[in-house]
Every structure is written in structure tokens, then in C-alpha cells.
Structure 1
């Protein structure tokens, strides 16, 4: 029996990771991406993403383990690894930090054999003099950053080498579902027939799947910035702050050649992805945070970056199969690190109609009415 024909709509990290997982299993997917190679319109561009492992929920830790295996397999043995494991520092007082407080995250990581230590603020400040701490700090050396742009290039190369294809600048107008598959209609007038279509279209998911029952997907433009460091030895970091002082939780990471990236998690204005203003917001607040908490950065040197989040009301991903469609969506600003694991899950769903993602990621378990009612509530302080 031949493998099903699979089309992947969306050539960001999730679509390419899915295509890579498919070619590893003998399939020959075609990836259709609306923009050209190296574009900055979606959520996968840029040099770095936080490889943050500060989670307590089992479904995220399962995905993290699967992702870590994928990142290791992706790295070129003759070149630089895609993960830079310089460690992750997490601090703050939230009880919803990655699904629990610092003690529960520490317990969940150590139960998995993932190294993690709880430090007092004095010891943490000694280790990382560019940062200020007031309370207990969680440190995991098995974390750091993903080289994001390099990962996209590597994934594309492996997809093509495995017999798949990646078609850049191929906008999809609509997806016509049938009982025995689906037809993808391109703006060019061409059609692509497939047994299964995987949709990993980021901010453009809802327009493509308007009649498909999904949680609400909100697209926002976020404005982190790079700051010039005045000290060396930076880890990646998460900080859950007092919401009466700063707009949201903070994340950050060193980006060689650009500085240290610092950003608020998920508080940008809602935007139309086709009319995105690329206008930085909350820069005064971000500089004030840097001045107070990151004495090893020059707060006057901010170089803002524009990126998008496509978020669900509860911050949980959508990984599910609906007939001949497989949907990967709503990565809510904390999905990139999981990409090889997410790609493997979406490939499972594409190749096996009976496969299921972890229950929290399924559409059926979510009350759309309930999620819409919660849409105006504050987003959970999930680390990026």
C-alpha cells in the first residue's frame, strides 16, 4: 500500500519540521509557503529562539523530550549544533510558571532526568552578575537557545534531500475538503490534490480554515528588542514579574552579534497579518525593566524587533486531525523550541487516521464557547 499524498500549507518551522518527519518515514510531501524564502512576515524568522524547558505539565515535557531528540538529529555533525545549551534561569513568584511554581517545575524536570537546580538569589547573582534576583532561582543547564534561521535552512535541505519539495511564494487561496482527501487551490490557479493536508499557516490559519471548528486564534504583533551587554556570560531567562509593575512576564536570551534579546510575553496589539504595522510598542516599559533588573545591559541601546504570536485563549497548542485536514496552530509564542516534536506529532496524525495528540492539544476537548468567553481575560504567564 502506498503512502498517502501529503501537502503541507505553511513553510515556517512547524511546516518544515512536519515535512522532515514525513520524509523520514518515506513520504514525499509538498510544502506550500505563501512568502519567499527568508521572509520576515511570519513567526519563524530571526537568529534565536528560547530553548526553555521550565514546564511542569506532562504533555509539554513529553513534547520537549521528543523535540530534543529531533534537534539533536537535525544538527550537522560537521557543523555547529542548532541548540546552544548555555542554560536557562527562571525566577519570579507566579504559580502558573510553565504549569506550576518553581519547586514543581524543578521536581518535574528532575523526575525526567533533566538537570535542574534551585539557587538562592545571592548565589544566582554571583553566577550571573548582569542580572538582579530577589528570590529563589531555577537553573537548568540543559537549555539555552535554538538557532532559528539556521534551523529553517537545515530543515528545508533535509526535506528536499529526502524527496519532498518546498515551493516558496506559492499562496494558497483555499482548501477544498472531500471525503477521500482535499484539493489545495493556489493563487496561481494551479491545484494540488492530496489525501491529507497539514495546515501550519500561523497567522493565516483562520482565514484558510474559516469553517473548521477551532479555538479562537488571536494574532498579535510583539516587540522584543536587542540590548547591548556590558557583562559577559549570559544565560537564557524567564522572569514572572508583578503584573502591577510591568505588562507581562519577561523572556530573554543572548543572540551573538546582536546583543541580548529581551521581550514581554504576549501583550502586543492585535493585528491583521496582511496589514501588520511593524511598529514597536511598550519600548519605554521594556527599557525600564532592563534598567531595574538587568544591570549588565545598556537600556539606551534597544534595537526593536517585530514578530507575531498566534495565540489560543489558554495558550495551549492545537494539534489535531479533522477529516482530511491536520491542523497545527496557536503556538502562542512558546512553540518554536518544540518544533521537531510538533512536526513528529503532526506527521503521526497525517499518516495514521487513528493517531491522537496529547489530550490538551485536541480540538474536541476544548469548549469553543468557553474559550471565547475567556478570550478577554489576561493570558497565562507562560514563559516563551
Structure 2
């Protein structure tokens, strides 16, 4: 067979991208009796994308119905995955949100609105004054009202990826590492996936390739996707016995470069980062050079008396951000797109996977309007 010609075997569904979104989609498909194949361009455990690392913030501080609906589907998936290595994949040590700035995607929405929205969904949340919050979490500083939800915390990122792969393979699916897809082309009968090793045919393709979305999906009109290299860092606690929640700080414009998020990561410290302040990059030519570290250390000195600001260990990751920071979850012909997770997608991954599986299996299915292509 000449190079580049389609293989004789056609797969019903192929998932391109083996990060958290692709693996979640493949798992959702296996739960419905499918046996998808996952093609990932890098090796298992790589650090080139946005899914590596031990933890991600399981942040439920949203008031928009489409995010809360997706959070509910995600929580069902996280719970169904159960325990891994004797521990749930969600560590629900709680989340504190504070500050008078705008929450992510919620201009004009305050902490009281978020608390009400969570309460309407049966998600526990309470508003605390600064003194009470300071008493509970003495390693942090608070100047105003604090929203606390005990039903939040962190997702165990690396463990989740391992478990999802295990489940996909156990259900008859396949995961191929070091298997890049350079482009997808659809026609009336299916989709051709172009790879360096030749071409593969499928009935439906789900593409979840993060920073490489525009290159792979050249034939589909996407919203502008801005790829940035972000540099959060882990800081060492001064007192290992101090309790640490996950956190959001919605800062006032002009005070700090951006909103701040973070979480404890056992063995690494407390992760602190500015949201979406990195330089725009080509994902194949990242510098892996930390940015804004002096400002981040200054922020830690001011707002985290329980952390040693001189102990920063920077991390490199990518954001792929849409103009509205809303995700893209849609289907165009036989190609399903999951893209633009804007630095906030990981916690939603099992829900995103369920939605993308819906779209792959049913051409009439639709995601929430906020997530559809224009």
C-alpha cells in the first residue's frame, strides 16, 4: 500500500488527543458500548500540553447555568471513577473564593450570587466574614467576604489520566502514544486522518488536541484560539500543620496582573498562579521560561503569610483560550470538536467527555448554546 493511502480498516470512532479531554471522551464512549481508538502525538506522561501534573483545582465557584450543568455531569463521572490507589480522584478539602473583582466568565456576578447559584443546585456554600476565614485558614489573608464551599478542592490529575487509560483499554478501546495526526478531512462517507505512518479512516472523529487545534482542524472555522505559556509555582508552607483549601482571589483591576488561583499539592507545596498572563507561544516552540515570577512572589508575600515566598518552584503549562473563555463543544459534519478550555477545563473533564460522546454518537445532539460554534 503506498504511503499516505487510507488503511483498509475503518474505525467507527477515533479520538485525536490523549490528554484529559480525549481520555474522558474515550471513557464516556466505552461506557456506551463503543471501542474507540485514541491517537496521541506525544508519549505517555509528556509535559507538552495542559493535562500533566499531580493536581488541578476542582473549583465550583460558578453562577452560569451552562457551567453548573457541566459541573454536575463532571461530578457524576469523577464519582464513577471511584478510588485510585486507595483515594478518590477528588480531594474535597474545600474551596475559598474572595475579592471584589470579576469571577471567571461572570462579569457583574458577586460572591453572593455564586453562593445562591450553588445553593440552588444543592451544593453547599457559605459566606464568611474575613475574621472567621482568617481563623480557619491562618496561612492566608482576607480583607472582605469569603465564599467557602466544602464540596470542592482538587482533582488528582496524573492519577486521573492513568485510570482513564486503564478503563478505556479494559473496555476494549485502544490508546496509541507517539501517534500524531496532522490533519483530518471529511467526506460523505467518513473521515480521513492523516498521520506520518499513513492514513486512517473513521466514521466519526473527536478532536481534543488543545494548543494544536487550529492546525489539525484547518477545515473547520473556529473562534480565535490564543495559546499562552503560563507559569504558576509551588511555594513551601512555613508550618506543615496549617490547613490549606483550594482558592480563588478575584482581584480588583489594576492591583495585580490577573485573578489568582491555587491549591495544595502534597509533596510539592501550595500552587499559586495568575490566571492567563503568559506570553503567546507556538506550542511546538515553547521556551519553558517562567514569567511574572517576581510579581507572583510579591503577591504571595502580601496575601499568604503561611507560605515562604522565596521558595517558588515554577511550573510550565499551556492555556488555549477563546475570546469569551467559553469552551468549544460542537460537531461539524463527522468531526466533533473539543477546544478552547481556557485554563479552566480540567475539573469539567468527565462532563466534557460525556458531552463530546453525545455529539459523536448522535448527529442531532447539541451542547449548551454558550459552547457551540458560531
Q: TM-score, normalised by structure 2?
A: 0.95
Alignment RMSD (CA, Å)? 1.2
Could you tell me which of 37, 48, 59 is aligned with 1:52? 59
Q: 3-state DSSP class of the match of 1:211?
A: coil
Measured in 1, the distance between the counterparts of 2:11 and 2:146 equals 48
Could you tell me which of 334, 358, 365 is aligned with 1:348? 358
Measured in 1, the distance between the counterparts of 2:176 and 2:217 equals 21
Q: Deviations along 1:298-343, whole A, 9 cap, x unmatched? A: 0000000000000001100000000010000000000000000000
Measured in 2, the distance between the counterparts of 1:4 and 1:326 equals 15
Structure 1: stretches of 5+ with no match in the other structure: 365-384
Q: Which residues of 2 match residues 207-286 of structure 1 at below 5 A?
A: 207-231=215-239, 232-286=242-296
Give the deviation of 1:243 after TM superposition: 2.5
Q: Deviations along 1:112-155, whole A, 9 cap, x unmatched? A: 00000000001000000000000000000000000000000000
Measured in 2, the distance between the counterparts of 1:111 and 1:49 equals 25
Residue 89 of structure 1: aligned partner? 96
Give the deviation of 1:96 after TM superposition: 4.0
Give the deviation of 1:241 after TM superposition: 1.3
Structure 2: stretches of 5+ with no match in the other structure: 1-9
Q: 3-state DSSP class of the match of 2:135?
A: helix
Q: Which residues of 2 match residues 128-147 of structure 1 at below 5 A?
A: 128-147=137-156
Residue 176 of structure 2: aligned partner? 167
Give the deviation of 1:97 after TM superposition: 4.6
**91-100 or 177-186, which moves further after superposition?**
91-100
Measured in 2, the distance between the counterparts of 1:256 and 1:23 equals 32
Could you tell me which of 179, 189, 205 is aligned with 1:180? 189
Q: 3-state DSSP class of the match of 2:336?
A: strand
Give the deviation of 1:185 after TM superposition: 1.3
**174-183 or 221-230, which moves further after superposition?**
174-183
The answer to whether the aligner puts 1:40 opposite 2:47 as a matched pair is yes
Q: Deviations along 1:137-175, whole A, 9 cap, x unmatched? A: 000000000000000000000000011000000011211
Shift in alpha-carbon separation, 1:217–1:97, aligned structure 2, 3 A: closer
Residue 114 of structure 1: aligned partner? 123
- Do 1:8 and 1:15's aligned partners in 2 also have CA atoms closer than 8 Å? yes
Give the deviation of 1:209 after TM superposition: 1.0
Could you tell me which of 262, 286, 294 is aligned with 2:304? 294
Q: 3-state DSSP class of the match of 2:280?
A: coil
The answer to whether the aligner puts 1:154 opposite 2:163 as a matched pair is yes
- Do 1:56 and 1:98's aligned partners in 2 also have CA atoms closer than 8 Å? no
Residue 379 of structure 1: aligned partner? none
Could you tell me which of 69, 77, 98 is aligned with 1:62? 69
Could you tell me which of 199, 202, 212 is aligned with 2:210? 202
- Do 1:180 and 1:324's aligned partners in 2 also have CA atoms closer than 8 Å? no
Aligned length: 361
Q: 3-state DSSP class of the match of 1:68?
A: helix
Measured in 2, the distance between the counterparts of 1:238 and 1:111 equals 21
Give the deviation of 1:240 after TM superposition: 1.1
Measured in 1, the distance between the counterparts of 2:182 and 2:57 equals 33
